[in-house]
Amino acid sequence: MRWFILHTFAYFGVNGFVLDSDIVVLRSPFEVLKGDADFEVMTDHFWPELHLWEYWTRPEEHINTGCIYVKASNRTKAFLYEFLEDHNETQVGGIPRHWMDQQVFNKFVQRKLFHSSSDLVHGLYESQIYRNTRPLLPVVDPIRIRILDPVVVAHGMNYFWIRAHERPGQERQPVLAHANGVDGKEYFLRDRKLWYLNDFETRFEGQNFLTYEHPPRLSLANDFRHLTRAVVVAASLKRRLVLPNRMNCNNCPALEAYKGTAMLGTSNCTFDYFAWSQSFLGHHGELVVESGLESDPHFALLSAETATSDHFVELFQAAWKGGHGGKGNFRSRRLHIADLELAYKTALEVGFRPAMVFECRHHDWPVGWMACRDQRFVQAQGMFSRCEAFPEQGGCGYRGVTCCEAFWGWSEKLEYFTGKSWDLPCNCGLSECEPREGAERAQGCCAFAGGQPRCDRRIRMESVPEINTPEDTESLTSTALAELEAFGDPISFWKTCRLNRQLRASDKTIEELLWNCHRLATRFLLLKQNLDVLGRWCRFAHRLRRAATDTADLAFPRNWPSPTLLRPFNAETGKVEVLRTEDLNLKLSHDLAQLGFLQQKFSRSEILEVVEGLRLLGNIKVFDSIYAGNRARFVPELKAEVNITIDPLVDSFSVTDGILNSSLVEALADWFAEATIWHAPHLQGQLLQASLLDGLNCEVS
């Protein structure tokens, strides 16, 4: 919708300023606009001066489309119209547009900026200029896109997490804060005091709260042990825990690398500096409230009391009998626990258990999210730069409490931007859950001592691809598809498609994976009408999907079976190709005759072996669906001259006759006789079909 709005503004000559609904405007953003560009936009980079428009970075980092200012002109109107024309449909030719329009727009700009024959777009940041330095067609007045300071026009990681605007010496203060890269958004807006809706009474009607003094300078494990025990105590007292903001910042791997230590000090961190807040709040949000609530004036006005060890037994017994978390004087809405450890021990003594609040589960290292495994990053920096999980980083812990998945803006990008590893254990150091044996090898099972295990499917690292392909690999803006069309390298595309489907798809078999990659490539090349590369791909895919011998150039992984053992999928239907018994006799006789003809003509030893194998098949009534005759045995070049002269147009039509001259017809007949492309039988084998997508194509020499 933003693009229609901006184009409409430009069409009517009105400058447009569009903001996402999760942006908080702190002061007038117009005061930071430079006025020297057609577009002025925010960015998700921490250091644009180092990383802006670098090829190895993720495309969506460069321009954050949550904040876009467009100066109305015929040029900006045409630029936006072209983008809408190219990317308005949800899918074209069976290939989807990528769901993230921010990434799509960035790739559109990058193509204009660096991969065009002319100097169409200039990128600006401070005094830096990014452009095509060797254009074939210079442009007098290019589109200028200025990237704004990410501390002043702040993305969520800079404002809510690193607090870059609080750095010593930072003079320019934010004009807006975008709650992107921070999950969940409402939690961060409330906790960092950017929630301006006065909804305290409706939000907390009839609810009581628990606070405690979180000890400073703890280890990560002890920080989370205190936190989770406080959640158990609060739940046992039927109160909501006010989360602490005194956890040890030194346990966060990112703060020093991202230059955030000066603003936060040692013990001034909330749990979200270590763990994925959305996961924690999604599972336990009804038991806790943000730490920032303590500074709310409404909270300060609530009645408050402190419970000491003398009152704990009385307190817990009253809660279990249906009271309000206490008797006598302990009915205040704010209750402070003076000794958390003793309170936790008392809760256990009266029968309350952590298993009543938390569930054990296995946590895997998030291999698929890690930017330091990105294909382009590894290609640019070298395979040695690819990150891996640390020994025992995964393991058993509490469901919703995970410290190796602190999405989005830090853990998965920390090593990629700074070289510093996010090395926190997935279970945050909690040891209450024990590993158990699962019924299957791929299961990770965990349980409390003496409890029933929960089993989850776990990631088997031996099945994980060596690198992570771009998320848009199977979309219209796929770099892999664009490079296939531009350079015609089938092996390169096949490797990327294979890795992508291993990482993200749910293909049950290798054959299904092969067919999906084949379908993707052919759809895209047909859409682009690049028939030369389409033929090249189809010839490669014919051998890939119907290999007759073990061929190294097919780029099969070492742990895959021989390509000769795979069952082909029909290129048209996508179903496993199974020959019926009634098809066999005529199909087999055709294949034997054709291969005998090839043997006499070419004296190929491998063809002789196939003939003998097929003769053996002729004596078997029930046979395997991997039929030896339906393989990529022999697809020769077509040696013929093709000269086509198109008659002049008459009333917008042209009639061209005589393309198939006698010499070409003869050459085609020989080629059809030699090519082993007749895979699909019809009418009990009386009719054999060959497909353009499955072998019926060749080089014309």
Instruction: For 320-367, write each residue's pLDDT tens digit.
Output: 665 544 444 568 999 999 999 999 999 999 889 999 999 999 999 999
Listed ranges 2-6, 168-172, 649-653; the one with the highest mean pLDDT: 2-6
Would the pLDDT of 516 be above 60?
A: yes
Contact call for residues 237 and 368 (beta carbons, < 8 A): no
Question: pLDDT band at 494, cuts 50/70/90?
Answer: very high
Measure the CA–CA gap between 195 and 186, rounded to whole angstroms: 8
pLDDT at 123: 97
Measure the CA–CA gap between 222 and 251, rounded to whole angstroms: 11
Question: pLDDT band at 200, cuts 50/70/90?
Answer: very high
Measure the CA–CA gap between 280 and 288, rounded to whole angstroms: 10
**DSSP code per residue over 600-614:** HHH--HHHHHHHHHH
From residue 547, alpha-carbon distances to 283, 631, 693 in Å are 49, 6, 15
Indicate the length of the chain as a whole number: 701
Mean of all residue pLDDT scores within the chain: 89
From residue 521, alpha-carbon distances to 94, 479, 487, 537, 631 in Å are 11, 12, 13, 8, 21
Question: pLDDT band at 79, cuts 50/70/90?
Answer: very high
Listed ranges 11-15, 86-90, 388-392; the one with the highest mean pLDDT: 11-15
pLDDT at 622: 39
pLDDT at 326: 44
Residues above pLDDT 90, as percent of the chain:
62
Looking up tokens 């946590």, which residue turns up?
A: 363
Residue closest to 469 by CA, chosen among 366, 369, 364: 369
Opening angle at CA 121, ends 115 and 124, nearest 5: 115
pLDDT at 621: 43
Contacts 24+ apart (CB under 8 A), 573-581: 574/515, 574/519, 576/511, 576/625, 577/625, 577/630, 577/679, 577/680, 578/625, 579/623, 579/625, 579/627, 579/630, 579/681, 581/621, 581/622
Would the pLDDT of 524 be above 80?
A: yes
Would the pLDDT of 264 be above 90?
A: no
Strand order in the sheet with 334-337: 288-289, 240-242, 209-212, 334-337, 304-307
* pLDDT tens per residue across span 143-186: 999 999 999 999 999 999 889 998 888 889 999 999 998 888 99
> Model's pTM, two decimal places?
0.89
The neighbour count for residue 133, using CB atoms within 10 Å, is: 7
Which value, in Å, is the radius of gyration of the alpha carbons in the chain?
33
Question: pLDDT band at 140, cuts 50/70/90?
Answer: confident
Give the pLDDT mean for 652-658: 72
pLDDT at 331: 80
Q: Which two tokens stand for residue 280?
A: 């924690």
pLDDT at 618: 55
* pLDDT tens per residue across span 432-457: 999 998 877 778 999 999 899 999 98
Residues above pLDDT 70, as percent of the chain:
93
pLDDT at 627: 78
**Directed axis angle between helix 101-114 and helix 2-11, to 10°?**
50
Measure the CA–CA gap between 158 and 505, rounded to whole angstroms: 33
Which amino acid belongs to residue 390?
A: F
pLDDT at 328: 47
Is 611 or 147 the better-scoring residue by pLDDT?
147
pLDDT at 654: 73
Q: Say how far residue 274 (Cα) sits from the centre of its chain.
A: 22
Contact call for residues 495 and 530 (beta carbons, < 8 A): no
Residue 163 phi/psi, 5-degree rounding, is 60, 50
Would the pLDDT of 479 be above 90?
A: yes
Question: pLDDT band at 257, cuts 50/70/90?
Answer: confident
User: Any idea what DSSP says for residue 334?
Assistant: E
pLDDT at 324: 47
Would the pLDDT of 247 be above 90?
A: yes
pLDDT at 619: 53
Burial class of residue 189, CB neighbours in 10 A (0-12, 13-18, 19+): buried
* pLDDT tens per residue across span 551-575: 777 788 888 888 888 888 888 888 8
Question: pLDDT band at 10, cuts 50/70/90?
Answer: very high
